[in-house]
Structure 1
Amino acid sequence: MAPEMAASYIVGIVPSLATTGAHYWFHKKKVASSAFQQLQKNLATVQKYWCESQSRVLPLEDNSHAKDQEAFKTSLYVMGSLFAFMSWVGFMFNMLVLLSTRKIAISRFEQKVFASELCTKNLSATEIESILKDCEA
């Protein structure tokens, strides 16, 4: 009985790590999308950027994008390691987190920002500020 349980535990690590890989792949896909790039370009016009790890607009500083990517990777590594350690239970939690971050737990502000013209075309600074105020309301 014990060898089967150990084998089941080891096998459970694989789907858990695969789900963590899916988190990373979806994130890279979003960050590389033309809408996200256009959003960052427009926000840079007013010295701001979209912080993916916090899902909000923050003031643009040196290496802001690199720091945000590093924060995302760090949290993903910690979460992925913890869930891999938990094996099948971790896989279930990991799937729940993946589902919620992709479909359920998206703030209205984020939905408004990504549905706005900020992600579709170049805008002037006044237009950008106006859209951000509308999204925050």
Structure 2
Amino acid sequence: MTGTDLSIVRGEKTFAQRILGFFGNAFVNVLLILVAVFWLVPSIGLFITSFRSSADSASSGWWTVFTAPAQLTLENYANLIQNPTIMGSLWNTIVIVVPTTIAVAVIGSLAGYAFAWIDFLP
């Protein structure tokens, strides 16, 4: 028997089982959720700020939108769509990213097929 076989016979937990046991703990899960929410607060603030006017953003914090939701507007996004420079840049991004993503997926699937089914050893 090898060393890994002996650990299974003895009932010892593998490293992966110990990690899963640690992260399966309810306290750790709650702590990870709190860290994730705390980590997302700046992104949520930026997203909410994108719907506020410049004057509102300069005069108060983004969290005031919860007490006065009337300050939300789509004017900033309308201005972006009407800007030809931004729309040209967005179109260039789409023209580059879509074919590249498709090419990577096709080449990766071909490589995966090769690794799965072709015998590389003589």
The TM-score, its normalising length taken from structure 2, stands at: 0.31
Decide which structure has the larger Cα Rg and report it.
Answer: 2
The TM-score, its normalising length taken from structure 1, stands at: 0.29
Structure with greater contact order relative to length (CA < 8 Å, sep ≥ 6): 1
